[in-house]
Structures are given as C-alpha cells and as structure tokens.
Chain A
C-alpha cells in the first residue's frame, strides 16, 4: 500500500526552530507538497519539492531526499500564528496526491 507518515503532534516555543518530518512509501514519485491548515480552515500551499535538496522560502524551508523517501519542513523564528496542522502530500506515479494525516504544531509563549 501507499502511506505517508508524520508525527501526530509537536510542541515548540515561540521564537524557536522546529522540524516536522515526513516519510513516504508510494507507487512512484512526482513531487512532494507541504500545506498548512489552521483549525477549522482550508489547507493552504507552503512548498513543493521534486528534486533533492533544500528549498527556502522566508521563515519556512522544505527538504527532500528521494532515495530515503523523506522530507522535512523547517520553521524558523516561530510565531504564535504558526500554530496549525502541517500536511505532507506526495504525488505518485498516477499523478494522484497521497496525503499524510498531518502534524498538529502547538506553539507556546
């Protein structure tokens, strides 16, 4: 089967750095997405990786290793508004997105 694994919940302190990991086993690979979802709201796009390496976008960075089936989302200088769920999704060989259950990130002052 196909699956995406992420930690269910993480806690971090305002101003700190947090890394959210995602491992995947899918039928083929055509890219990996990270989305942010605040409670009661719709997911919004954060990043897309299709090649190995680090993609940096402001306070957020996303890393991909295709050989290891692994990605992480790095959030720096955490702010209270970063409290949300972070969803990892992989586009498989059939060009269908397989979604992880999401990681709920709790930011404490």
Chain B
C-alpha cells in the first residue's frame, strides 16, 4: 500500500441497507477525515479523527458513524442508507491534527443509494 486507499471504488446500494466504506493509510498520519462531495457544493466534512481512539463530528454527521481503533484504519458506516447519501466519499489523512497540515486524499468511493 502506498498512501491512502479506499474500498469499494463504487457501490449501488438499496435504501435501508447498512454499508461500511473502508479507508486505510500507511503514512502513519495522526489525523483522518471523511468528506462527501456533491455537484455544485464544496467538500463537506462528515467526521474526523485527530488521533487513534478519538473521533469528532464534522459539518454533516447525521446518518454516519466512524471508528478509529488504530492509526491506519478509519471506516465510515451508513447504518441505514437513504437516497440523499448518494455522493462521492473521500477519505483523507494529515500528519498533524487540527487541519493545519496538508491533507492527502484517497481515490474516493462513488455511492449510489436507490
């Protein structure tokens, strides 16, 4: 692994289903982030983690949950998907907590909820 990876690349999901988007980084970065990107809107922060074992809510956390059991992994779970969660999801990481450092983005997951 080099950098930050996400899985799956894309997914079509029935409404009401549970889904976990995976994110793994091998840069030993402290901070990790989940964003969603919708056409015509800026990236919006869903959840973040400044270090392993801690998480925080971003701008649009409702309907999503995260965990940070170790430094490398930061999965995002949709407990019961709804069509408004159709979006492109990006995971990112940064060396320093607090967003002051460059963020490195994964390739994204395209999620369609029907």
Which B residues are in CB contact (< 8 Å) with A41?
107-108
Measured between beta carbons, the chain A residues less than 8 angstroms from B102 are 33, 45, 48
Give chain A residues whose Cβ lies under 8 Å from the Cβ of B106.
42
Main secondary structure, interface of B, reads loop
Question: How many residues on chain A are close to B (CB under 8 Å)?
Answer: 21
B interface residue count range (under 10 / 10 to 19 / 20 to 34 / 35 or more):
10 to 19
| In the bound complex, CA of A47 to CA of B106 (Å) | 19
- Complex: chain B residue closest to A8, CB-CB: B40
CA distance A24 to B82 in the complex (A): 32
- Shortest CB-to-CB span from B23 to chain A, Å, is 12
Q: Mark A96-109, 1 if CB is under 8 A from B, else 0.
A: 11111110000000
Kindly supply a per-residue 1/0 record for chain A positions 15-50, scoring 1 wherever the CB is within 8 Å of any chain B CB and 0 otherwise. 000000000000000110100000001111100100
A91 to B96, CA, bound (A): 14
